Chain A
Amino acid sequence: MYIIIAGCSKVGASLVNRLSEEGHNVVVIDRDKSSFAQLGSGSNCMTIVGVPIDEDVLKEAGIEAADALAAVTTDDNTNIMIAQIARQLYRVPKVLVQTKDPERQRVLSFMGLEAICPTTLTVESFFTALAKGETEK
């Protein structure tokens, strides 16, 4: 698959590493060049320095041909904007958005965007682990 990762955060970088290990064709965009240092040495992905809400930057990343895009910058609204450009302007088949705010996750699904919320996932993991400890007692 041809996948664009917008935002080379911790999440973004790890995602890129995993995906390129699996043999996917990955392009990663970040406004800060130094963030690419987090990418694994074996990762043969393409990197682009630029603001990912800039249509020209997304075009350079090959959004017209992308099979999937994950918007994982540290700013929720930036992610939402990228996702909408991808989905509505370029008809990218699979688009995922990261949002820090669990409240926003509901609104996003209303807007037709598939959102992943690290806060919700973390709480979920803690909760399950704690509850599991409870039943084992």
Chain B
Amino acid sequence: MRIMIIGGGNVGYYLTKSLSAEKHHIMIVEEDQARCEQIVSTLGSKRVEITNGDGTNVECLREAGIFNTDALIAVTGHDQNNLVACQLAKDYFGVKQTISRVKNPKNIRVFKKLGVDSVISSTERIAGIINQELDWTDVNKLLKDRSSNVRIREISVEHGSLFNNKCLKELGLPKGLILIAVLRGNEAIIPSGDTRLEAGDAVIVMGEEEDIESIYGQFKEMRK
């Protein structure tokens, strides 16, 4: 595929590095001349074609070779520039696929409505991960305040885990460790010994910190 990347910052640079290794033809448009030279000298002109200019300018995009582009990825640090680059690519030059990064997660909806095919927000991704963890912190604080060593944690059952497709009674969990719930899709199951775990389940466990640690690996470990 011929892929054009708008913005040669860190994201653009590492994208180029991984995509060009997969035999894609990469073109970068970057405004800063010094940065352009730096990218070419580290990646080499064989792996990347670089154009120094404004990726929201029609002339510049033309010069960079937008007419032969299959996908455009906009990863500058400014949401408004990413939006305009994607729209010019799609509406003006007929590029089939446009992907944009947004800084402000609220712009995900706006960008999608304005025709950008895929919108990615690292802020939202990280916040999503943290929220999952955070839900338990209040509970754990409460437990800790009672000077107990008991914690609650959420552990996901990975594909190929030793516990995948096993009944709870077969797991050989340490005594004193309780599986409070199994979250599967939109369902929360209060488990019994006959409940069978599936890859993708999230299990809520309560027990001594060390006991949780001792079984944690088995949820993740690959079946040999």
Contacts and interface: CB of A to CB of B under 8 A. Distances in A.
Contact of B106 (A56, A80, A89, A104): A56
B58 A81 contact: no
Given A55-B106, A77-B81, A77-B83, A104 B57 contact: yes
B110 A55 contact: yes
A85 B110 contact: yes
Interface string A78-98: 101100110011000000000
Contacts of A77: 56, 78, 80-81, 83-84
Contact of B79 (A81, A101, A107): A81
A123 interface: no
Interface residues of A, number: 20
A124 interface: no
Nearest to A75: B80
B92 A84 contact: no
B91 interface: yes
B113 interface: yes
Interface in A25-65: 53-56
A44 to B, nearest CB: 30
A134 interface: no
B88 interface: yes
Nearest to A58: B110
B3 to A, nearest CB: 22
Contact of A110 (B59, B80, B92): B92
B7 to A, nearest CB: 13
A103 interface: yes
A76 B84 CA distance: 10
Interface in B90-120: 91-92, 104, 106-107, 109-110, 113-114
B80 A89 contact: no
8 contacts: A77-B80, A77-B83, A78-B80, A80-B80, A85-B110, A89-B110, A89-B113, A103-B58
Given A80-B80, A104-B57, A110-B92, 11 more contacts: A54-B106, A76-B56, A77-B80, A77-B83, A81-B79, A84-B87, A89-B113, A103-B59, A104-B58, A107-B92, A111-B91
